Structure 1
Amino acid sequence: MIQTAHRKASTAASGFLIAAALTLTGCAAPQASEAPIDQAQQAALTPDAVLSDLMEGNERYVSGVISEPNITERVSISSTGQYPQAVILSCLDSRVPVEMVFDQGIGDVFVGRVAGNVATTEQIGSMEFATKVAGSKLVMVLGHEACGAVKGACDGVELGNLTDLLAHIEPAVEGVDGFADDQRNSKNSAFVEAVVHKNVELVIADIRERSEVLTEMENNGEIKIVGAVYSLQDGSVTLTN
Structure 2
Amino acid sequence: MESNLNCRNQEHPEDGGRRLWLKAGVSAVTLVAGAGFTTGAAQAAALTKAQRDALTPDEVIGIMKMGNERFRSGRMKKQDFLAQKRASAAGQYPAAVILSCIDSRAPAEIILDMGIGDTFNARVAGNIANQDMLGSLEFACAVAGAKVLLVMGHTACGAIKGAIDNVQLGNLTGLLETIRPAIAATQYTGERSSKNEAFVDAVAQSNVRQAITTIRGGSPILVELEKKGQIRVAGAMYDLRNGEVTFL
TM over 0.5: yes
Instruction: List structure 1 segments (4+ residues) > 2 angstroms apart after TM superposition.
Output: 29-34, 177-180
Tell me the TM-score normalised to structure 1 length: 0.86
* One of 30, 38, 46 as aligned partner of 2:56: 46
**Number of residue-to-residue matches in the alignment:** 216
In structure 2, relative to structure 1, the CA distance for the partners of 1:31 and 1:152 (3 Å cut) is farther
Per-residue deviation at 1:98? 1.1
In structure 2, relative to structure 1, the CA distance for the partners of 1:155 and 1:79 (3 Å cut) is same
Give, as a single letter, the amino acid of the residue that structure 1 aligns with 2:221: V
Per-residue deviation at 1:189? 1.2
Give, as a single letter, the amino acid of the residue that structure 2 aligns with 1:98: A
Stretches of structure 1 that go unaligned for 5 or more consecutive residues are 1-5, 13-28
Which residue number in structure 1 is paired with residue 159 of structure 2?
149
Which residue number in structure 1 is paired with residue 223 of structure 2?
215
Question: Is residue 179–residue 191 contact of structure 1 (8 Å, CA) maintained in 2?
Answer: no
The percent of aligned pairs where both chains have the same amino acid is 47
* Local SS of the residue matching 1:103: coil
Matched, 1:8 2:11: yes
* One of 165, 180, 183 as aligned partner of 1:173: 183
Q: Tell me the distance in 1 between the aligned counterparts of 2:236 and 2:41.
A: 24
Which residue number in structure 1 is paired with residue 135 of structure 2?
125
- Matches of residues 17-28 of structure 1 in structure 2 within 5 Å? none
Give, as a single letter, the amino acid of the residue that structure 1 aligns with 2:61: L
Give, as a single letter, the amino acid of the residue that structure 2 aligns with 1:222: Q
Give, as a single letter, the amino acid of the residue that structure 1 aligns with 2:197: S
Which residue number in structure 2 is paired with residue 87 of structure 1?
97
Tell me the TM-score normalised to structure 2 length: 0.83
Question: Is residue 83–residue 135 contact of structure 1 (8 Å, CA) maintained in 2?
Answer: yes
* Local SS of the residue matching 1:169: helix
Which residue number in structure 2 is paired with residue 20 of structure 1?
none
Question: Is residue 46–residue 85 contact of structure 2 (8 Å, CA) maintained in 1?
Answer: no
CA RMSD of aligned residues (A): 1.8
Which residue number in structure 1 is paired with residue 198 of structure 2?
190
- Matches of residues 58-77 of structure 1 in structure 2 within 5 Å? 58-77=68-87
